[in-house]
Amino acid sequence: MPALAVAEALRARGAEITFISARGRSGHGFAREHGFAEESIPLQGFARRVSLGTLRTIWMAVVAVPRAMAIVRRTKADVVVTGGGYMAGPVGLAAWLLRRPAIALEADSHLGLANRVIAPLAHRVVLAFPLKGRVSPKYIVLGRPVRESVRNATRVSGRRHFGIAPEATVVLIVGGSQGARSINAAAVDAFGPHPPFEVIHVVGPKNVEATRSLFGDQTPSPQYRIEGFLDDLPEAIAAADLVVSRSGGSVFELAAIGRPSILVPYPHATADHQATNAKWLVSAGAAVVLPDAECSGVRLRELVGALLSDPPRREAMADAARRIGRPDAADKIADLVVASVRS
């Protein structure tokens, strides 16, 4: 969560932080779980199809603006940082109406709808990637912020965390926070149930039983670990010799930690941003792409086998990832936020 990474960096500078979340929606309560004050406003995203529910959503968005203004006033906020998503619109507008500087974060390789709306009102828009037509001084490229847990993760700490021997070969397979059925099926077909190396397979919270059923009447060996979700994913990345993954925001964690990867972009991502994310790593020599339509057990086994049998290539890919990673993005954004208060 990029906003949480920036909040951690600001807290380290002595700032008081209050999050505003969408009540009852994904992410509500997440900031509080990590020790931050949190307020919530009833709000929901716009459906892709126009319906009667659209009118309700519009009304909730309109009412959210004065509610956000009340929170900004009550907390005596000096600056507002928006993290994209539908909450960014009302909160960004509230900051503008109250003459508070707003810093908008864009964590993907395209400018989302909310950020396109509030960009003219924002003091700065911080980009993860350079975007065509988005130039300074309004737009500034600082990378996608990663949390302190990512910056602190090492091969030694990761392997200690999972109880994996220092000399073992480890492949991490993860399809995003919700998992990816195509990757899950290919991984089980390629490596299960008795892989020749350690496998940490993050299948998604709702996919555990479905993935286990792919083994039929066979039981996976202890070397094939199935996880629904990992709060400690950075440690799993750090423990791995090779990562098979979607190419959402996790590409920045791969780069910050410095791990070679096989990326399987989600083909239906908004503006095809996962393909753009993957291209960023591939162009640097840090990853190879396996299109989702070609993600079979046979193909995955071939790619993983080729990379595991070529340590110099993997090390070169890891070095390339580290060169383009921006592990200090959260600190730089925090400095920008503090400077906006003083300007």
| DSSP assignment string, 141-184 | E------HHHHH--HHHHHHHHT--TT--EEEEE--TT--HHHH
Q: Do domains 2-146+327-342 and 149-324 have the same CATH topology?
A: yes
**By 3-state DSSP, what share of the chain in percent is helix, strand and coil, each rounded to 5?**
45, 15, 40
pLDDT per residue as tens digits for the range 266-306 = 999 888 889 999 999 999 999 999 999 999 999 999 999 99
- pLDDT at position 50, please? 66
pLDDT per residue as tens digits for the range 151-166 = 999 999 999 999 999 9
Structure tokens at 56: 């309700």
Structure tokens at 183: 């990757």
- pLDDT at position 320, please? 97
| Confidence check: pLDDT of 201 > 80 | yes
Say whether domain 149-324 belongs to CATH 3.40.50.2000. yes
pLDDT per residue as tens digits for the range 60-110 = 888 999 999 999 999 999 999 998 888 899 999 999 999 999 999 998 878
Predicted TM-score (pTM) of the model is 0.84
Exposed (0-12), middle (13-18) or buried (19+): which is 32, by Cβ within 10 Å? Answer: middle
Q: Cβ(147)–Cβ(5) under 8 Å?
A: yes
Structure tokens at 21: 């979340």
By C-alpha distance, which of 70, 276, 117, 271 is closest to 263? 276
Print burial letters for 62-73: b (CB count within 10 Å at least 16), e (below 16).
eebbebbbebbe
CA of 208: how far to CAs of 181, 204, 233, in Å? 11, 7, 17
CATH top class, domain 2-146+327-342: alpha beta
Least confident of 58-62, 175-179, 256-260, 311-315: 175-179
Ordered by start, the domain boundaries in the chain are: 2-146+327-342, 149-324
Structure tokens at 86: 């539908």
